[in-house]
Amino acid sequence: MCCSGFLKIMMFIFNGGIFLAGAGILGVGVWVKVDSGSLLVLLDNVEGTSEFSQLVNVAYVLIGVGAVRLVIGFLGCCGAVRESRCMLLTFFSIVLIIFLIEVAGAVVLLVFQDVAEQLLDHVEDQVKTSIKDNYGSNEKFTSIWNATMEEFKCCGYKNYTDFDGSAFNNQLGGDLYPVTCCKETIGVCNTDEAYNSMIEGCFNKLLQLIEENAGIIGAVALGIAALEVAAMVVSMVLFKNIGEKA
């Protein structure tokens, strides 16, 4: 009896963690969906990369994964409280499937690193072409890039030369750059000031942000995986104990 009560408490703890993780993932998915308009505008102006607009659908994936985790957490707790073997078995099966998908996804990411690098090179070329064709001539595109550079304190995709040949750059005979490309400007940001400032590109800033939070992301991922394994073990022990009582 004491052992059964302890197992139920553990199920509440594990499923509480899964429930909170689901709520967090769901929240991120909703945020990405609500804030995806700017990304879509940038992608729509990148020639030959219309397929990358589908990346925004990651919001729906996150929402789906978060919702499923919420259901799993609720299912596990109810199964433990009501001592329902059917609920516990369903809970175990769903968590096992999700765990296997996560492992498979991690393996795929490791195996296809070279493909991802080639994809990024292709994106870089297309984004630079898009900046040259649209920055200064497409008002919406220009305002979104300005807001992005202002927010992350960056300049272009890689550096200030990404703006060479753009309508904005040509205003002063090829000697005008966004103010964010210069640390200190007197009037305008020209070639000399941009070269001396050498403000980092937005892509590098994004990589830095990911690297700085890689430890947290990895720890959260491992924590979720550990919770899933522990919850599966406890659910099966409870399943067995309930069966013996019957």
> Based on the number of CB atoms within 10 Å of its own CB, is 62 exposed (0-12), middle (13-18) or buried (19 or more)?
buried
Cα–Cα dist 105/114, whole Å: 16
What pLDDT sits at residue 163?
94
pLDDT tens digit sequence for 134-165: 899 988 889 889 988 988 889 999 999 999 99
Q: pTM of the prediction?
A: 0.60
Helix ranges (DSSP H) in the chain: 2-34, 37-44, 58-82, 85-111, 113-134, 139-152, 191-197, 202-212, 214-245
| Beta-bridge partner residues of 189 | 177
* DSSP of 22-41: HHHHHHHHHHHHHT-HHHHH
What does pLDDT average to over the chain?
Answer: 79
Which has the higher per-residue pLDDT, 224 or 178? Answer: 178
pLDDT over 70, % of the chain: 80
pLDDT tens digit sequence for 55-100: 556 677 778 888 888 888 888 888 888 888 888 888 889 889 888 8
Q: Which of 85, 177, 191, 80 is nearest to 132 (CA)?
A: 177
What pLDDT sits at residue 94?
87
What pLDDT sits at residue 224?
79
pLDDT tens digit sequence for 183-221: 876 678 988 899 999 899 988 888 888 778 777 877 877
